A and B are shown apart, each in its own frame.
Chain A
Amino acid sequence: MKIDKIYILLIGCMYLFFGFVQFLNGLSSIFLGFIPFNTCISVSGICIPNIFPDVFSGIALLTTGLLFVSSLYFYGRDVIKAKGYFLVGWILAILMLGLNIVEILSNILDAYYPILFGGEPNFVWSICEDSWGIAPHLLLGLLILPMYFENKIYLSELFPKKFYKTR
């Protein structure tokens, strides 16, 4: 198995694991009122990755993981399907990475916008206290981001203007 496939398998499994934990934590927090799994590693007080309880976020992570792992399964059988599964997984991963970044920026803005009007911050923002913080979406999204270069030829079809200018 080539190194890139091992890398995809590894990241796919991590998506599945974190997704499963988040899904269970989400369900448990709704129906039982507590969070059963705390799998983060504390680095200088920052929980990495912060698996906040959320059923739908868990489904999103699980789906992404499933797409990556399935793409490897299909490689020997149907290359088009394998590529499609991987690329959709990659797009979902990048969307979630973007969402995590937007969430952090939005919370920072929510905390400090009163300063713009000469007031005191609403609250002191810290990555340790952020409801998402460094979530699996951010962490795994950054890890899968370089796979763009591996699939540049396909993904460039999403940027049609380049073709228009070069021809």
Chain B
Amino acid sequence: MIRVALAGNPNVGKSVIFNNLTGSRQHVGNWPGKTVEKKEGYAKCFGEEMYVVDLPGTYSLSAYSIEELIARDYIVQEKPDVVVIVVDASNIERNLYLVVQVLELGVKTIIALNKMDLAKSTGVEINVKELENLLGVPVVETVAPKRIGMDKLCRKIIEMKESERIQMRIRYSDILEGAIHDLIEILEEVKEFRDYAYRWLAIKILEGDNAIMQEVEEKIKTVSLKERIYEIKKRFEEKVEDTEMYVINERYRVIQEIVSKTVHVSKKVTLSDMLDQAFLDRYIGIPIFLAILWILFQFTFIVSTPFVDMIGDFFAVISNNMANVTGISHLDYLLFGEYGVLNGIGMILSFVPLIMALYFALSLFEDFGYVSRAAFLMDKLMRKLGLTGRTIIPMILGFGCNVAGIYGTRIVPEEDDRIIAIVTNPLMMCSARLVAFAIIAAAFWGSMAGTILLSLYVIGIVLAVFISLVLKKFVFKGKASPFIMELPPYQVPSIKVAASQAWARGSLFFRKAGTVILFGLLVLGVLATTDATTLSFTDDVQNSIVAVIGKMLHPIFAPLGWDWRLVIAVIFGFVAKEIVIGATAMLYGVTEDEFASFIAQHYDPVVMYAYMVFVLVYVPCIASIAAIKNETGSWKWTLFTILYEVSLAYLLGILVLFIGGFI
């Protein structure tokens, strides 16, 4: 079996090539211990079986970000038979930096020169033969969405597996090459480094790469060898001021030489240049961004609505028809009741159209080339708030549904920023909470309800920014993300690629998050239908274990001015925020229609505002928790989110009551 690693910059079409090669024989998971996505799969080309790994998209192998470290470690340690570097032909100069670094590793490499159609349409002509000659590796022209070049790529992979190790043809300056040569002579004497590419190791030593220097320190036992290495490094440092910068500049010098010999740009002003005049304009760019977000948001909810309803109806009909099928009330309830297995599956499935529609739309905008523009546009503002530009999109999506928002954080490339975006997303007031709050706000504040709702939106945003700043300052301190922004040329997105993304995300959610939601619903279902004294089935929730828990917890929430029914309602809200109002109405023995006037008579407006602030902040619904667990890959961050939100909600509730006391 040929082991193939796909490397490349973000947004070069690497995933499409991976999908073309592996088809349905793929698995999506995370790299061990990381939140970075790992895609692996199997392909069969011309009778040869291949194992393909899609490495994270990176701009270099400098080990500054987690993605770069993963890609580098995989190539160095796992030693794939062939590395295919996917290069964006329309932006070849930037992409060649990664190519040069991979070539330094001395691994068998093939360049897939992707987006050739886009390059040609924007006036970029590439002399592929000359490029092959200068780099010393095969270059295959591809147009991944049209599967152009895939067969040739497969053939080259098979040929490359059988070929000799590649000879590095790239030559740096005499100073650098001299130091590399001297170091290689020493490194060849160290048997612990026998598996490494000596040239790469020498360059890393000269760059002062921390991880490699540590290995040198640990693995070289002979003091004289170590001294010779440090001597060469010192001599090199004396010749050039900043060693790392010198090596980077040398790489770019070589790249510019290659580009000048192989690339000819015939057209000066492209469509992308024209569109960027408006999309990136500091004034009109912001309303355009808002308009596009609104379109994205509307599309997601408009398209998913009938399918969500369809799934809901389908499962309701089945549940009703099977209501007493076993004749054992508790079992019937657990299987077919309101919080039973069947409705649980229905509830999980009802989120799937939303996630699929969201990913379909996001993929279209990303393929079009707008997402990176939006991030670029918002980056300056968001950085002041401790966030990156890309965080704005999942934040806004969170206003519709936090599950969608949390999954939307996949577009944030840096792991630290992504975790911050995930754990703060539940603070965005989702549409489920909006429904509940709209009823309460209308009952207490009448025509001012809109302002009250707006104030809750503002509280959510301010808290998200505050928590982000705290996490940046105390948890992820000193881990500055590199400011590299790619602005690919605009192009019509591929419906096929977007549909495949949507399907992958939808099925992943159903498999991963679904199990957590189902388990949570079952636990709550058992507690809400089991009589606290007899432990037998009860359809009166006031006698259930949940009610006992609510009454037990009541003293904790008494300072917030609630009775035990409101405590139970927030426990039910843990399942889904939509049912907070229904549960509260049921506990008070009134209908949902009567609920508004009932609470207006029984509660003080300040207490109810504090209640809304609590429900806004306290804990995400079970589907969001499942999404957080799935996306962070960690129970630590999931529990952190629950704990900080409950504590924050309680403190804010008290604060609102305190301030309200003066009004």
Query: In the bound complex, do residue B278 and residue A67 qualify as a contact, i.e. CB atoms below 8 Å apart?
Result: yes
Does residue B628 face the partner (Cβ distance < 8 Å to A)? no
Does residue B117 face the partner (Cβ distance < 8 Å to A)? yes
Our pick among B143, B272, B287, B492 for the contact of A63 (Cβ within 8 Å) is B287
Does residue A164 face the partner (Cβ distance < 8 Å to B)? yes
Interface residues on A, range: 35 or more
Query: In the bound complex, do residue A160 and residue B117 qualify as a contact, i.e. CB atoms below 8 Å apart?
Result: yes
**B298: nearest residue on chain A (CB-CB)?**
A99
A42-50, A84-92, A140-148: which lies at the B interface?
Answer: A84-92
A31 and B449 CA atoms in complex are apart in Å by: 7
Given contacts A88-B278, A113-B306, A157-B270, whether A99 and B288 have CB atoms under 8 Å apart is: no
Query: In the bound complex, do residue A157 and residue B306 qualify as a contact, i.e. CB atoms below 8 Å apart?
Result: no
A60 and B289 CA atoms in complex are apart in Å by: 9
Interface of A is mostly: helix
Which residues of chain A (105-121) have a CB below 8 Å from chain B? Answer: 106-107, 109-110, 113-114, 117
User: A123: shortest Cβ distance to chain B, in Å?
Assistant: 11
* Chain B hits for A80, CB < 8 A: 269, 273-274, 277
Interface residues on B, range: 35 or more
Query: In the bound complex, do residue B120 and residue A167 qualify as a contact, i.e. CB atoms below 8 Å apart?
Result: yes
Query: In the bound complex, do residue A163 and residue B279 qualify as a contact, i.e. CB atoms below 8 Å apart?
Result: no
Does residue B245 face the partner (Cβ distance < 8 Å to A)? no
User: B26: shortest Cβ distance to chain A, in Å?
Assistant: 25
A30 and B447 CA atoms in complex are apart in Å by: 8
**B145: nearest residue on chain A (CB-CB)?**
A161
Does residue A25 face the partner (Cβ distance < 8 Å to B)? no
Query: In the bound complex, do residue B303 and residue A56 qualify as a contact, i.e. CB atoms below 8 Å apart?
Result: no
A162 and B306 CA atoms in complex are apart in Å by: 36
Given contacts A80-B274, A96-B295, A109-B306, whether A164 and B284 have CB atoms under 8 Å apart is: no
Contact mask for chain B residues 444-474; partner A; CB cutoff 8 A; 1 contact, 0 none: 0011111101100000000000000000000
Given contacts A84-B277, A85-B277, A103-B298, whether A66 and B450 have CB atoms under 8 Å apart is: no
Query: In the bound complex, do residue A60 and residue B294 qualify as a contact, i.e. CB atoms below 8 Å apart?
Result: yes
Does residue A62 face the partner (Cβ distance < 8 Å to B)? yes
A156 and B270 CA atoms in complex are apart in Å by: 11
A66 and B305 CA atoms in complex are apart in Å by: 32
Most buried by A among B115, B116, B297, B309: B309
Our pick among A31, A83, A88, A99 for the contact of B295 (Cβ within 8 Å) is A99
Which residues of A are interface residues toward B (Cβ below 8 A)? 29-33, 56-57, 59-60, 62-64, 66-67, 70, 80-81, 83-85, 87-89, 91-92, 95-96, 99, 102-103, 106-107, 109-110, 113-114, 117, 122, 154-164, 167
> Can you name 18 extra interface pairs (CB under 8 A) apart from A57-B294, A91-B275, A110-B306?
A59-B294, A80-B269, A83-B274, A83-B277, A84-B273, A84-B276, A87-B274, A95-B292, A103-B302, A110-B305, A114-B313, A157-B271, A158-B271, A158-B491, A160-B117, A163-B117, A164-B121, A167-B120
Which residues of B are interface residues toward A (Cβ below 8 A)? 115-118, 120-122, 143, 146, 148, 269-279, 284, 287-288, 290-292, 294-295, 297-299, 302-303, 305-306, 309-310, 313-314, 317, 446-451, 453-454, 490-492
Chosen A-B contacts, 14 in total, with CB atoms closer than 8 Å, are A56-B297, A80-B277, A84-B277, A84-B278, A85-B277, A87-B271, A95-B292, A102-B303, A106-B305, A114-B313, A157-B270, A157-B490, A160-B117, A161-B146
